[in-house]
């Protein structure tokens, strides 16, 4: 319909990527194609994620049109299924294309023939810029297998620290790799358990990182020199255990994640241990259910740390740790962690926790969306300070995340505290932007209904 075309054109023209991605996801689920009038604009999109979402919506007409502009060749690279007939064409684009196109080609090849993708990558890596070497090497996460170990192990000798770190992270995900064994050995030597009782229950963990390391550690992406303001032993500890699956510790000490976190709490190195375990949990949780069990206990531990430090000078960004854990959780667990904080977010000291909302999987559940709207309405109606402004700013996140079923509730009338100060004037503008975005989403879903009525 004309209204649907207008909505899509507006989202493309204003670079409203979140809105556009929602529209494209729904169109793909409904097996709709882009209107023909929109194809030239869609083919001009440069964002790699958007391109992947656009591919199935271009249809035969869009694929045909893409051959007439060299800038649009990402389409043929993306839709190509690896075969003897198109392998030469893919190879040419891999050899001659712009970097973003080459990375897309490598991803396509890797999905169809992991060994061939690895072979092409190995042939060209040495000639790439360091940043490009790192980003291309990350493609090996697709279909990662023990067959990739020799190439990844060789990149531990790369002159770029960034490349070595990518290689080490990928090798750590291969449980039988030599690097994984080296990291486990180093980590094991840093911890001793103190037990008590007839069953030998874990009472305390004692951490003793080395006083010095050799260059073999640096080769495995452990920095020889710590960044300013941090102790070298703490950095070495964190770097090593961040590449050891947390399930290793529950198995070795026959203890639950919460017990292990409590057992290290009185140690001098408890904070870098907590940071290392957090990084490892984020790295391994997606493919390891045992490691994923650490997400909740670590969230609780960092909440305690954050509460202790509130109002003081923070030595580490505790919120960054919490954000990383949240991003690794599924929607149910993530919302269960954040929902209880909504009341705290309405206070002066808790308002910075509003940042967590943007990390929750989209769309939010009806329960969370309703709770958020109730709290937001209360804050904006009663307060005219920075807290009101921060909550008003969070409405732009909510506009993207509220599920379609809750949009009518969100569009009910809002009241902003009667004050002429800057905070409230800004809040009024944010509420209007919020309503405008929701009306656009509502119109889109109404038009989808029309398409199928």
Q: Global pTM? A: 0.89
Mean pLDDT for the chain overall: 92
Q: What is the 3-state secondary structure (H, E, C) of 296-311?
A: HHHHHHHHHHHHHHCC
Instruction: For 263-290, give one letter per residue: b (16+ CB within 10 A) or e.
Output: bbbebebbbbbbbbbbbbbbbbbeebee
pLDDT of residue 313: 53
pLDDT tens digits along 186-238: 999 999 999 887 777 888 999 999 999 999 999 999 999 999 989 999 999 99
Task: Give me the percent of the chain exceeding a pLDDT of 70.
Answer: 96
pLDDT tens digits along 58-79: 999 999 999 999 888 888 877 6
pLDDT of residue 84: 47
Checking if the pLDDT of 82 tops 50, the result is no
In angstroms, the CA 300 to CA 167 distance is 31
pLDDT of residue 197: 76
In angstroms, the CA 23 to CA 21 distance is 5
Domain ranges in the chain are 2-154, 175-329, 360-453
> Per this entry, what is the length of the chain?
453
pLDDT of residue 89: 77
Give the pLDDT band (50/70/90) at residue 424: confident
Question: Which 3 state secondary structure label does DSSP give 246?
Answer: coil
List residues bridging with 196 in a β-sheet. 201
Checking if the pLDDT of 315 tops 50, the result is no
What is the crossing angle of helices 270-284 and 318-328, to 10°? 20
Residues 385-397: what's their mean pLDDT?
Answer: 93
């Amino acid at each position: 319909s004309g209204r649907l075309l207008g909505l899509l054109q507006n989202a493309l023209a204003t670079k409203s990527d979140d809105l556009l991605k929602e529209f494209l996801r729904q169109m793909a689920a409904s097996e709709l194609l882009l209107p023909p009038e929109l194809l030239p604009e869609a083919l001009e999109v440069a964002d790699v994620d958007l391109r992947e979402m656009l591919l199935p919506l271009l249809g035969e007409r869009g694929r045909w049109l893409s051959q007439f502009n060299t800038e649009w060749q990402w389409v043929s690279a993306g839709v190509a299924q690896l075969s003897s007939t198109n392998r030469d064409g893919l190879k040419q684009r891999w050899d001659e294309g712009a970097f973003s196109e080459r990375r897309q080609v490598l991803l396509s090849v890797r999905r169809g023939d992991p060994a061939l993708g690895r072979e092409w990558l190995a042939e060209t890596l040495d000639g790439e810029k360091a940043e490009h070497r790192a980003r291309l090497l990350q493609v090996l996460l697709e279909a990662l297998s023990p067959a990739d170990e020799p190439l990844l192990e060789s990149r531990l000798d790369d002159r770029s620290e960034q490349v070595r770190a990518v290689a080490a992270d990928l090798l750590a995900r291969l449980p039988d790799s030599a690097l994984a064994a080296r990291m486990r050995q180093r980590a094991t030597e840093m911890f001793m358990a103190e037990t008590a009782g007839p069953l030998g229950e874990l009472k305390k963990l004692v951490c003793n990182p080395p006083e010095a390391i050799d260059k073999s550690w640096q080769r495995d992406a452990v920095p020889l020199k710590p960044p300013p303001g941090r102790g070298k032993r703490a950095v070495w500890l964190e770097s090593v255990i961040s590449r050891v699956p947390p399930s290793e510790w529950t198995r070795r000490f026959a203890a639950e994640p919460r017990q292990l976190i409590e057992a290290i709490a009185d140690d001098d190195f408890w904070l870098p241990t907590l940071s290392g375990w957090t990084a490892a949990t984020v790295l391994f949780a997606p493919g390891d259910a045992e490691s994923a069990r650490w997400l909740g206990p670590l969230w609780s531990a960092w909440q305690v740390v954050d509460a202790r430090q509130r109002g003081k000078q923070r030595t580490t960004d505790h919120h960054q740790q919490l954000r990383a854990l949240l991003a690794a959780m599924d929607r149910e667990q993530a919302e269960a962690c954040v929902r209880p904080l909504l009341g705290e977010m309405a206070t002066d000291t808790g308002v910075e926790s509003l940042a967590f909302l943007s990390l929750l999987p989209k769309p939010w559940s009806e329960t969370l969306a309703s709770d958020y709207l109730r709290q937001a309405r209360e804050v904006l109606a009663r307060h005219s300070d920075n807290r009101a402004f921060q909550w008003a700013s969070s409405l732009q996140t909510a506009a993207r995340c509220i599920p379609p079923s809750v949009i009518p509730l969100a569009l009910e009338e809002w009241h902003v505290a009667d004050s002429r100060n800057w905070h409230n004037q800004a809040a009024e503008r944010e509420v209007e932007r919020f309503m405008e975005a929701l009306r656009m989403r509502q119109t889109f879903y109404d038009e989808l209904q029309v398409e199928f009525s």
